[in-house]
A and B are shown apart, each in its own frame.
Chain A
Amino acid sequence: MTPELGHFALVLALALGLIQSIVPVIGVRRRDDALMRLGDSTALAQFAFVAVSFSALTICYVTSDFSVATVYENSHSMMPLVYKFTSVWGNHEGSMLLWVLILALFGALVALFGNNLPATLKSHVLAVQSWIACAFYLFILLTSNPFARLAPAPFEGRDLNPILQDIGLAIHPPLLYLGYVGLSIAFSFAVAALLEGRIDAAWARWVRPWTLAAWMFLTVGIAMGSYWAYYELGWGGFWFWDPVENASLMPWLAGTALLHSAVVMEKRNALKIWTLLLAIVAFSLSLIGTFLVRSGVLTSVHTFASDPARGVFILAILVFFIGGALSLFAWRAPLLKQGGLFAPISREGALVFNNLFLTTACLTVFVGTLYPLALEAVTGTKISVGAPFFNLTFGPLFVPLLFAMPFGPLLAWKRGDILGVAQRLMAAFGAGLVMITIVAVAEGSVFTLAPFGIGLALFIMMGAMTDIAERIGLLRAPLSVVRQRAAGLPRSTWGTAFAHFGIAVTLLGIVSVSTWATERIVAVKVGQSISLSGFELTFDGLVQRSGANYRELGGKFTVRQGSVAVATMEPTKRSFASRETTTTEAALMTRGFSQLYLSLGDVNSDGSVAVRLYYKPMVLLIWIGSIVMMLGGALSLSDRRLRVGAPKPAAKPAVQPAE
C-alpha cells in the first residue's frame, strides 16, 4: 500500500506541476492576480506531495519491504538503521526522487519568502521552476520508478553497495543536490527576467541569496565527497579529476563567478546580461553533471550504473532547458537595457577579472571532461584525460585568480587606486615573500610548487585580514572604536574575508600534501615494523570480527614516536557476503592538521599482510578551508541587505557613502 501511495503522490505532484507551469503565466498575461497567486499554493502543495512520496519510499526502506524492486536491489534486512535511511538515495531511482524533493523545496521557499518580489516576476519564476520539476517528475515516472513492485517478493535484499555504507557518503549527495538544485532558482530568475524583458539591480539582490545558499551547499558537498574518497577508497587521494567530480566542480566555478558578477550588477547596475548568462550556465552545468553521472556515459572511479534509455531522456531534458534558455537569451537579451561600462582598475574591474578567469578555468574543465566523450563519439578512439591535463590547464589559470584575490575587496568602486592598494597589501606581500624564501631554503629549491603555493596562500590570508583590519581601523583607532566598527561592518564584508581566507586554507592543505606527503607500500609479518616520517608502526597481528552485515578482518598496529607508544591503529577490510564485495576501511591518526593513514591490502600466503602507509601533512586543511568558505557564505547570507523580505529602507542611499 505504501509504495502505491508514494507513486500516486508523485503523480499528483506532476499534475500540480503542470498547473503551476501554465496558470501563473496566463495570469501575468491577463493581469489576473488570482491566477498569478495560484503558483504560491501549488508550489507548497507540490512540495507536500513530493515529501509524501519521499517519505513513502523511506518507509519501504526502513521496514525492508523487498516487494519494492529498488529496496530489494539496494537494501538488506540486517543493515544498520542509519544506512536503511541513506540507501533511499544510494541508488539511481531514489536519488532522483531526492533531486525533485529538493527542487520542490526550493520552489516552496520562493513561494513562502518571495513576498517582496514583484508579482509578475514571482509568477514567472515559479512557473519556470515548475517546468524543470515536471521534466524530472516525468523522468522518474517514465524511466526510473522507485516504487516498481516485484512479484513474488524476495525474502532478502541484495544489500546496499558496501562502499556506500558510510556516513560520509550518506550526507554527501543531499548536500551536493542542495547545491545543484539551488542553482535552479537562479536559472528560473534568469529565464523569468528574459520573459519579462526587464532586469535591474534589484533582480541581482533577489537572486544573490539563493545563489549564495546553493554555493554553500555545493562547497561543503564537494568537500564531503572529497573527504569520503580520501578515507574510503583506500589510497589517500583527495581529488582525482574524475569526470564525476568535475561534474560538481563546474557548477561550483560558474556559481562562484555568478556570486561575484551579481555583486557588480547590484551595486553598479552593470554586467547585467553577463550575470543573466552565468545564471543560465551555472544551472546548465548542474544538469550536465546530472546527465554525466546518471546516464552512464562515463567510466569513472565511481560511476556505477548505465542505462541508455535514461541517458536519452536526461539528454532530452538537457537539450530542452539549456537550448531553450540560451535561445531565449539570444532572442531577448538584446532587448534588455545595457549596463554601464567602467574603468578597468576598480572593484568592478577586479570582479570582471575574477569572472574571466573563473569561467575560463571552468571551460578547461569542461573541455577535459567532455573531450574524451566527443572524440569517442566521432572517431571511436578511447582516451582518458586525467590529472596531468588539469594540472597543466586549470592550475595556470587559477594562479592569477588567486593572486588577484586580495586586491579585489580593497579596490574602490568606480575608480580604484591600484598603487594605494598595493601599498596597503605590502605587509601581506612581504609576509608571502618571506614565506617563499623560508620554504625555498628548507626545500633547497625555488622552482617548485611548495614555496610559491605556500607564499601565495599566506598572501591571500594576510590580504583577507588586511581588508578587515583597514576597515575597522585596527592599530590606528582606539580599541573601543575598533570594536564598534567591527560590529558595524556589513556581514557581507566579513563573508568575503572568510571565504577568501578559506580558499587560502584549502590551498595550503593541497600544496602541503602534494609536496610533503610520504608513503610506504610494503608487506609486513607479525612483529615487523614500518617506519615513516618519524613514526614507527609495529604489526601486532590480525583479528577477525563480524559486524551487522559483514565480516571484518583487522590488522592491529602500534604506533611509536621515538620509543614511546602513542597510539594503536586498526585498519580493516570488510567482506559483505550478500554482494561478494570487500571494502577497505583505512585507519586514521590525526596529529594537529596532519594525518597518518594506514590501509590494509591482501593477506599473502606466507602470512604477511600488504599495507599502505601514508603521512599526509596538513591534509585536514583542505576540508577545513571549505568549511571556512561556507561560513563566509553564511555570514554574507545573514547580511541585512540580502535578508529576504527585509523592507527597503527609504532614502537610505543619501546617508550611506559609496564604499
Chain B
Amino acid sequence: MTRKQRRLALIGTSLAVLAVAAALVLSALRESIVFFNSPTDVAEKLSAPGTRMRIGGLVKPGSLQRGDNLLVRFAVTDGKNDIAVLYQGIVPDLFREGQGVIAEGKLDAGGVFAADTVLAKHDERYMPREVVDALKKSGHWQEGEEKSTGSAAK
C-alpha cells in the first residue's frame, strides 16, 4: 500500500466506526429515553397510556396504602394535581409520606401509574432536582426550603 492509501484506509475506517456509533446512538435515543413529567404535565398533556415515563413530586400525605404481596399504593402530588401510583416491591429506605419521590413506569388506561421503579432521595435534606422544579412550577415551593449544604463524596 502506498502512503496515501494507508492514510485513506485509516480515515475511512475511523469514519465508518463513527458512523456506526452515530447510528447506534440515534436509534437508541429514539427507543430508550424516558421523559420526566410532573403530575400536572400528565393531567394537561393527557399522555398516551402505555408510554414509559418518569413522574415526580411529593408522596401525598395520607395516601400510602400497603396491600398483600408487597403491593404499595400512593399518590404523587405537585400540589395542583395528583397521580395514583401502584407499585409492587420494596420501596426505598427514605420513601415517606410528604417526601420527594420519582417513579418510573407506565400509565394504564384507567389513569393509574404502574411503577416498576421507585426512587427516593438519599439524604433527609436532599430533594431530587426534577421534583423541586415540578413543585416550583406548580407554585408549591418555598425558596430556601432546600438547604444546599449537604453533599457526598460521590
Q: Which residues of A contact B (CB under 8 A)?
A: 69, 73, 89-93, 95, 161, 163-164, 169, 172-173, 225, 234, 244, 293, 296, 298-299, 301-307, 341-344, 352, 356-357, 360-361, 363-364, 367-368, 371-372, 381-386, 388-389, 392-393, 396-397, 521-523, 573, 579-584, 601-602, 604-605, 610, 612
Q: Contact: B32 with A385, CB < 8 Å?
A: yes
- The interface residues of chain A lying within 8 Å CB-to-CB of B142 are none
Say yes or no for B25: interface residue by CB 8 A criterion: yes
The answer to whether B6 and A384 have CB atoms under 8 Å apart is no
A610→B89 CA distance, assembly (Å)? 8
B73-129 interface (Cβ within 8 A of A): 89-91, 93-94, 102, 104, 119, 122-124, 126, 128-129
Q: Are A384's CB and B36's CB within 8 A?
A: yes
Residues of chain B lying within 8 A (CB to CB) of residue A612: 90
Known contacts A91-B152, A580-B124: does B28 contact A296 (CB below 8 Å)? no
Nearest B residue to A611 via CB reads B90
Q: Which residue of B lies closest to A96 (CB)?
A: B151
A342 near B124: Cβ-Cβ < 8 Å: no
A164 touches B153 (CB 8 A): yes
B7 near A: Cβ within 8 Å?
A: yes
6 smallest CB-CB distances across A and B, nearest first, come from A305-B151, A601-B90, A388-B32, A92-B151, A382-B36, A392-B28
- A343 near B28 with CB under 8 A, answer no
Question: Which residue of chain A lies nearest to B1 when distances are taken between CB atoms in the complex?
Answer: A343
Q: Output the nearest chain B residue to A342 by Cβ-Cβ distance.
A: B6
B24 within 8 A of A: yes
Of B124, B128, B153, the residue contacting A581 (CB under 8 A) is B124
Query: Which residues on A sit within 8 Å (CB–CB) of B25?
Result: 364, 367-368, 393
List A contacts of B123 (CB < 8 A): 161, 163, 304, 579, 581
Q: How far is the CA of A357 from the CA of B151 in the complex (A)?
A: 35
B90 touches A344 (CB 8 A): no
Residue B29, interface by CB 8 Å: yes
Are A302 and B93 in touch, CB under 8 angstroms? no
Expressed in whole angstroms, the Cα–Cα distance for A298 and B49 within the complex equals 28
List, sorted by A's number, 13 A–B pairs whose CB atoms are closer than 8 Å: A90-B153, A92-B151, A164-B152, A234-B93, A304-B151, A342-B6, A344-B6, A388-B28, A389-B33, A521-B90, A579-B124, A580-B124, A582-B94
Which A residues are CB-close (under 8 A) to B7? 341
Q: Are A522 and B70 in contact (CB under 8 A)?
A: yes
Residues of B in contact with A (beta carbons under 8 Å apart): 1, 3, 6-7, 9-10, 13-14, 17-18, 20-21, 24-25, 27-29, 31-36, 54, 66, 69-70, 89-91, 93-94, 102, 104, 119, 122-124, 126, 128-130, 133, 146, 148-154
| CB-based contact A304/B10 at 8 Å | no
Q: How far is the CA of A645 from the CA of B29 in the complex (A)?
A: 50
| Neighbouring A residues of B28 by C-beta, 8 Å | 388-389, 392-393
* A364-B21 contact in complex given A303-B152, A383-B33, C-beta closer than 8 Å: yes
Interface of A is mostly: mixed
Structural contact, B35 and A357, CB atoms closer than 8 A? no
Q: Which of B33, B90, B130, B148 contacts A299 (CB 8 A)?
A: B130
Min Cβ gap A27→B in Å is: 38
Q: Chain B residues near A604 (CB, 8 Å)? A: 66
> Of residues B1, B6, B24, which shows the largest number of chain A Cβ atoms within 10 Å of its Cβ?
B24
Question: In the docked arrangement, what's the CA distance between A73 and B17, Å?
Answer: 49
Tell me, rounded to whole Å, the shortest Cβ–Cβ distance linking B34 to chain A.
Answer: 5
Q: How far is the CB of A1 from chain B (nearest CB, A)?
A: 24
Q: Which of B20, B29, B153 has the most CB of A within 10 A?
A: B153
Q: Chain B residues near A584 (CB, 8 Å)?
A: 93
- Compute how far the CA of A73 lies from the CA of B153 in the bound complex, rounded to whole angstroms: 14
Q: Once the chains are docked, how many angstroms separate the CA of A301 from the CA of B36?
A: 15
> B35 contacts which of A356, A368, A381 (Cβ < 8 Å)?
A381
The answer to whether A521 and B32 touch across the interface, beta carbons within 8 angstroms, is: no
Known: A173-B154, A383-B35, A610-B90. A341 touches B149 (CB 8 A): no
State the CA gap A602–B33 with chains docked (Å): 31
Contacts of B21 on A, CB cut-off 8 Å?
360-361, 363-364, 393, 397
**Considering residues B66, B133, B148, B151, which has the most beta carbons from chain A within 10 angstroms of its beta carbon?**
B151
B32 touches A161 (CB 8 A): no
A522 vs B68: C-alpha distance when bound (angstroms)? 10
Please state if B154 and A583 are interface contacts (CB–CB under 8 Å): no
* Beta-carbon nearest neighbor of B133 in chain A: A382
- In the assembly, what is the distance between CA of A323 and CA of B25, in Å? 26
Known A-B contacts A299-B129, A360-B17; the reply to A371 vs B29 at CB < 8 A is yes
Chain A's nearest CB lies how many Å from the CB of B37?
Answer: 8
Query: What separation, in Å, do the CA atoms of A615 and B33 have in the docked complex?
Result: 30
Q: Give Cα distance in the complex from A344 to B129, angstroms.
A: 49
